[in-house]
């Protein structure tokens, strides 16, 4: 749901509409109803893929820190293999799109991963601008019979910095400004 709301934010131009959507994204929770408490990916979001059919691997992610311009953004990716698929090698390539810098190693290789394994991959990005940014993730899967490639997108919503309370007060010799409106909750969400 948050991914859809993040995409919806891209088309919004009014600041009140953006504030409302930021609030809805933040309030939408972050857990999957009915998920298993022992599943380390239960609170993660599915990455976006335009490919059709059943994939050999799924990609989920969670943001460990809030996206802010010039501050490292810590993500955790989970690469989840199909339960019965025997994979010879997995190769994960990370490509930051405009406005993001990658601070982690790429590509990442997994040789002869166990059947049905889940691979947790820490990723550090550096947002350079506000807006809806993205990290492209390409997964190359080699099996005994075929080589498959699957592309995913991890959306990253970087909001403008909220002014500090001291910045919203009037300076010396001026009347105090009206009380600052309460800042919208951070929009880093861990929903499906």
The radius of gyration computed from the CA coordinates of the chain, to the nearest angstrom, equals 20
- The residue among 161, 157, 160 whose CA lies nearest residue 28 is 157
Q: 3-state class of 157 per DSSP? A: strand
Question: What pLDDT is recorded for position 2?
Answer: 41
Question: What pLDDT is recorded for position 164?
Answer: 67
Question: What pLDDT is recorded for position 65?
Answer: 93
Cis peptide, bond prior to residue 107, ω within 30 of zero = yes
Question: What pLDDT is recorded for position 42?
Answer: 86
Domain 40-160 matching CATH 2.60.40.10: the answer reads: yes
Question: What pLDDT is recorded for position 180?
Answer: 37
Q: Please list the pLDDT of the chain residue by residue as tens digits (192 residues).
A: 343 334 333 333 334 433 433 333 333 333 343 455 677 888 899 999 888 878 889 999 999 999 999 999 999 999 999 888 889 999 999 999 999 999 998 899 998 888 888 999 999 999 999 999 999 999 999 988 999 999 999 999 999 887 766 555 555 544 444 333 333 333 333 333
Beta strands in 33-189 (DSSP E): 45-46, 57-63, 73-81, 89-96, 100-102, 108-111, 118-127, 131-142, 147-158
Q: How far is CA 184 from the centre of its chain?
A: 19
Per domain, the residue ranges of the chain are 1-31, 40-160
User: Model-level pTM greater than 0.85?
Assistant: no
Question: What pLDDT is recorded for position 36?
Answer: 57
């Amino acid at each position: 749901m948050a991914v859809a709301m993040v995409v919806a934010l891209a088309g919004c131009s009014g600041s009140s509409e953006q504030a409302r959507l930021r609030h809805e994204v933040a309030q939408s929770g972050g857990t999957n109803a009915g998920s298993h408490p022992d599943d380390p990916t239960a609170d993660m979001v599915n990455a976006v893929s335009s490919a059709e059919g059943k994939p050999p691997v799924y990609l989920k992610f969670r943001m460990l820190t809030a996206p802010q311009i010039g501050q490292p953004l810590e993500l955790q990716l989970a690469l989840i293999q199909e339960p019965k698929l025997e994979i010879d090698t997995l190769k994960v390539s990370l490509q930051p799109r405009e406005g993001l810098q990658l601070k982690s190693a790429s590509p990442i290789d997994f040789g002869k991963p166990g059947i049905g394994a889940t691979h947790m991959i820490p990723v550090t990005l550096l947002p350079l601008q506000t807006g809806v940014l993205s990290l492209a993730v390409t997964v190359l899967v080699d099996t005994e019979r075929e080589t498959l490639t699957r592309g995913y997108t991890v959306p990253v919503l970087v909001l403008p910095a909220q002014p500090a309370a001291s910045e919203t007060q009037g300076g010396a010799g001026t009347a105090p400004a009206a009380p600052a409106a309460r800042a919208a909750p951070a929009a880093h969400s861990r929903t499906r």
